[in-house]
């Protein structure tokens, strides 16, 4: 009771309550308001920091001078204005000048009902660690899947071959009407065996010898395969950093990984879409190895991006988990295998997606010095 009284008393002392403007100024998250023409009409101190300009310069300027024209952020603001309701975007990459460039934010756009056209925008930057979190979870999944796959394949395939043999015997002996049923059993068994074969790729039984590998040679090979097959109706662009040193990798596994990514991208864009495969050196990305020890640089980045419809928001956090598929006949194993192989190589893979742009980024360690041949 006492406590409640004290609080009540204090709230009467107006000198202790900061005014609203001061409160907004104290918030660590960037906040700003744009008017109906997307011009900045108000912003707090954190937003000044984010845009790296002072208020005097920014007020009245169109937002796209800060975040680039046609940005996803502008799209979100327009949706909020249209819907007359709060619209949220997660993991949005806000392009434009540095320091905004490449930062990833969660965004909330709230229309101001009293001043129609005005929209209040709140940004919350996501730390890199935050972004890696879901990847680290998929690391665990991939590892438990390795054991599961090995056990399943071993335990289930043997009885299956017995079932298949029995079904074939039945087929030869059955009356004409029942032959179809016997054949159905054999066909379904074949389907399960094919699935198990694919899962066996996850087991740690297959050793993966690694040697210094030129990623560009691998990517060229994948592009040739893709153009002849999975991505025949799709444009594939390349943007290589030719100075990249070799990685310590299993070439076949890396081919499979990139092919899975390109196949997904081609399936997402359909005919006429564009896939962009890029490589870059990014010395800033570091991660502690699973075995512990100091954080290790993962400077070698391979990215596969497409201009398809994007990964459905509910799926994005789970795409690396096995059997998660947005396709009617998908196995949901493609990206799980990507996560497993990249994890085995000591790297990470991250997914980012919004309508019109989906990007998978693989970051790998360099081959240790002295290992290059
Ligand atoms: N580039 C992409 N664009 C849109 N959605 C994607 C993309 N890549 C993956 N996905 C989504 O992630 C799901 C899982 O992919 P994957 O593990 O390869 O399984 P599958 O392709 O068998 O469905 C896909 O079904 C799809 O919904
Ligand atoms: Mg796939």
Of the candidate ranges 265-269, 300-304, 368-372, the one whose mean pLDDT is the lowest? 368-372
Residue 252 sits in the same domain as residue 329: yes
Could you say which of 200, 224, 249 is where a domain stops?
200
Domain boundary among 155, 179, 200: 200
Span from the CA of 201 to the centroid of ligand 1 (angstroms):
18
| 334 Cα to the center of ligand 1, angstroms | 8
Q: What is the CATH number of the domain that holds 76?
A: 3.30.450.20
**Cβ distance 232 to 199 under 8 Å?**
no
E strand intervals along 140-231 = 211-213
The three-point CA angle 44-45-50 to 5° equals 100
Q: What is the pLDDT of residue 12?
A: 54
- Indicate whether 357 and 218 sit together in one domain: yes
| CATH number of the domain to which 145 belongs | 1.10.287
Distance 264 CA to ligand 1 centre (A): 5
Q: How far is the CA of 325 from the centre of ligand 2 (A)?
A: 8
| Protein residue with least CA distance to atom 2, ligand 1 | 265
Is the pLDDT higher at 370 or at 371? 370
Domain count, the chain: 3
Q: Which ligand is nearest to the CA of 360?
A: 1
Do 161 and 225 sit in the same domain of this protein? no
In the block, tokens 């800033």 appear at 284
The closest-lying atom of ligand 1 relative to the alpha carbon of residue 335 is 17
Question: Within this chain, do residues 246 and 325 fall inside the same structural domain, yes or no?
Answer: yes
- For residue 7, name the pLDDT band (cuts at 50, 70, 90): very low
Same domain, yes or no, for 243 and 258? yes
E-state strands within 119-231 = 119-125, 211-213
Query: What is the 343 CA–ligand 2 centroid distance (Å)?
Result: 18
Q: Are residues 162 and 298 in the same domain?
A: no
Instruction: Report if residue 370 sits inside a domain.
Output: no
Is residue 222 in a domain? yes
> Do 140 and 116 share a structural domain?
no
Q: Compute the distance between CA of residue 187 and CA of residue 167 in angstroms, rounded to an integer.
A: 10
Q: In this predicted structure, what is the pLDDT of residue 102?
A: 55
Percent of the chain at pLDDT > 70 equals: 82
Question: What residue owns the CA closest to ligand 1's atom 1?
Answer: 265
Of 66, 94, 126, the residue at which a domain comes to its end is: 126
CATH number of the CATH domain containing 218: 3.30.565.10
Q: What is the pLDDT of residue 290?
A: 65
Q: Name all residues whose Cβ lies below 6 A of ligand 1.
A: 260, 264-265, 268, 306, 308, 310-311, 315, 319, 324-327, 330-336, 358
Residues 236, 110 share a domain: no
Helix (H, G, I), strand (E, B) or coil at 124: strand
- Confidence grade of residue 3 (pLDDT, cut at 50, 70, 90): very low
Percent of the chain with pLDDT over 90: 37
What is the extent of the structural domain holding 308?
211-364
Instruction: Check whether 95 has a pLDDT greater than 60.
Output: no
- Asked if residue 260 and residue 232 are part of one domain, the reply reads yes
150 with 116, same domain: the answer is no
Residue range 224-272, pLDDT digits in tens: 999 988 899 999 999 999 899 999 998 988 998 999 999 999 999 999 9
pLDDT at residue 2 above 60? no
Residue at 310 is within a domain: yes
369 in any annotated domain: no
Q: Is residue 206 part of a domain?
A: no
Looking at the predicted structure, is the pLDDT value of residue 109 above 50? Answer: yes
Residues 354 and 218 in one domain: yes
């Amino acid at each position: 009771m006492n406590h409640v009284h004290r609080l009540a008393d204090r709230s009467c002392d107006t000198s202790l309550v900061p005014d609203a403007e001061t409160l907004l100024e104290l918030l660590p998250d960037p906040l700003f308001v744009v008017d109906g023409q997307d011009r900045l009409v108000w912003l707090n101190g954190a937003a000044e920091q984010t845009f790296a300009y002072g208020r005097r310069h920014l007020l009245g300027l169109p937002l796209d001078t800060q975040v680039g024209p046609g940005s996803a952020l502008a799209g979100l603001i327009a949706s909020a204005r249209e819907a007359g309701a709060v619209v949220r975007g997660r993991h949005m990459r806000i392009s434009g000048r540095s320091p905004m460039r490449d930062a990833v934010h969660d965004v909330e756009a709230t229309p101001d009902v009293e001043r129609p056209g005005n929209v209040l925008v709140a940004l919350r930057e996501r730390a890199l660690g935050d972004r890696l979190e879901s990847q680290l979870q998929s690391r665990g999944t991939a590892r438990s899947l390795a054991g599961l796959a090995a056990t399943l394949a071993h335990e289930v395939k043997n009885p299956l071959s017995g079932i298949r043999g029995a079904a074939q015997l039945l087929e030869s002996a059955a009356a004409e009407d029942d032959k179809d049923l016997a054949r159905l059993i054999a066909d379904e068994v074949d389907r399960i065996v094919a699935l198990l074969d694919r899962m066996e790729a996850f087991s740690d039984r297959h050793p993966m010898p690694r040697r210094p590998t030129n990623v560009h040679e691998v990517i060229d090979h994948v592009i040739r395969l893709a153009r002849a097959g999975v991505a025949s109706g799709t444009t594939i662009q390349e943007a290589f950093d030719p100075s990249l040193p070799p990685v310590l990798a299993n070439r076949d596994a890396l081919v499979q990984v990139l092919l899975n990514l390109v196949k997904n991208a081609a399936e997402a864009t359909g005919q006429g879409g564009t896939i962009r495969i890029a490589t870059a050196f990014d010395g800033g990305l570091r991660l502690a190895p699973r075995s512990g020890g100091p954080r290790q640089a993962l400077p070698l980045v391979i990215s596969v991006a497409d201009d398809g419809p994007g990964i459905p928001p509910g799926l994005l956090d789970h795409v690396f988990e096995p059997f998660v598929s947005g396709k009617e006949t998908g196995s949901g194993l493609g990206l799980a295998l990507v996560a497993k192989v990249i994890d085995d190589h000591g790297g990470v893979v991250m997914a980012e997606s919004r309508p019109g742009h989906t990007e998978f980024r693989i970051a790998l360690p360099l081959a240790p010095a002295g290992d290059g041949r």
